A = this chain, B = another copy of it.
Amino acid sequence: MSGARSRPGAVLLEVSESDWDPGPWVRALKKVLPGRRVLTDGEGLEANDAVYALVWKPSAERLKRLHSLRAIFSLGAGVDHILDVGSLPDVPIVRIVADDLTARMTEYVVWQVLHHHRQAFAYAAQHQAHDWRGREQPAAAEVTVGVMGFGTLGQHAGQRLSSLGFRVVGWRRSAAPVAGFTVYGSDNLGAFLAETDILVSLLPLTPQTRGMVDRDLLARLRPDGPLGGPVFINAGRGGTQVEADIIDALRQGSLLGASLDVFAKEPLPPGDPLWTTPRLVITPHVAAASDPDALSSQIAEQIAAFEAGRPLIHLVDPQRGY
């Protein structure tokens, strides 16, 4: 602790995205951090006094000027946008783990799993053709959803999918067990993929996961499942996928369908071939949009606990990358 202060340490919003509106964040933070200065990175020298930086794609130069900095909070679920900016001040980095964000991610995953499971593309084509024809529909219990990145988010989605009847298996680096689920680890990726009909990626972007979902990985998914082919859903990070390989697999039919919320380059350029790839759902990185009110409350709770001498939780391990 830096001793008694006349007023509580300021909070700085440090975001290097040009189309970002800090207004809702400033209002939400002032509500849950009464009496505390909430600064934006336009506020120059005064901002250098900030004790907490709340960041999205921050500037490393900017962070280095914060001489009183005690912690960095990520404004999104992932932290590659922080770790990728280069050398960082030696303070704890905190991931957001908020119920609101978890619930939104689960909504997206369940929505897209059901979209493919219930043959939405086929029925939409029949709708266009005014073609009334029922299709054979496997039961959810016949379909295995494999979730890569089986942490807080993956397990929450997995539980909801289980309660809808799907068979759910998880894959995570550590292979640490999770009650009620079969969990595979790094050594068993092949076994995990071989039984997966619908692959859901919630992976963080790390040196190990960059470009991981490629032609070879997709070819190892169960080819002859009850849906007629495998499906890929990515709500993690676009950098984990090789988009040219996904396009090929969809065009050739070795992938039955896909849903991408994240892309190697965002915004996805208007001329990108993904826009015209068949049987693909594209959403503009909105699976779990950060809600300022919900996330500000969570950050305020962490700050209060930290200043009362308790440890910060959901800390990032910069070596591991998440």
Query: Among the listed B106, B130, B271, which residue makes an inter-chain contact with A164, where contact means beta carbons less than 8 Å apart?
Result: B106
For A276, give the chain B residue with the smallest CB separation. B130
Given the known A-B contacts A111-B115, A160-B163, are A133 and B103 also in contact in the complex, defined by CB atoms under 8 Å? Answer: no
Tell me if A86 is interfacial: C-beta within 8 Å of chain B: no
A110–B161 Cα distance when bound, in Å, is 11
A139 at interface, CB cutoff 8 A: yes
Minimum C-beta distance from A28 to chain B (A): 14
Report the Cα distance A314→B177, complex, angstroms: 41
Cα(A165)–Cα(B103), bound, Å: 7
B139→A100 contact, CB < 8 A: yes
Report B-chain residues with C-beta under 8 Å of the C-beta of A291.
139
Task: Assess A103 versus B286: contact at CB under 8 Å? Given A111-B115, A164-B110, A267-B132.
Answer: no
Question: Per a CB cutoff under 8 Å, which of B104, B123, B272 touches A137?
Answer: B104
Chain A interface residue count, Cβ-Cβ cutoff 8 angstroms: 44
Minimum CB distance partner of A113 in chain B: B111
A134 at the interface (CB under 8 A from B): yes
Residue of B nearest to A270 (CB): B130
- Give how many copies assemble into the complex: 2
Across-interface contacts of A130 in B (CB, < 8 A): 270-272, 275
- Name the residue of chain B whose CB is nearest to the CB of A135: B286
B289→A104 contact, CB < 8 A: no
13 extra interface residue pairs, beta carbon distance < 8 Å, beyond A103-B140, A107-B114, A160-B160 = A100-B139, A107-B118, A110-B164, A111-B115, A123-B281, A127-B282, A130-B271, A130-B272, A132-B267, A132-B284, A133-B284, A135-B286, A137-B286
A residues contacting B by CB (< 8 A) are: 100, 103-104, 106-108, 110-111, 114-115, 117-118, 120, 123, 126-127, 130, 132-135, 137, 139-140, 160, 163-165, 266-268, 270-272, 275, 281-286, 289, 291, 294
9 tightest Cβ-Cβ pairs between the two chains A and B: A111-B114, A132-B267, A130-B270, A132-B284, A130-B275, A134-B286, A103-B165, A127-B282, A134-B284
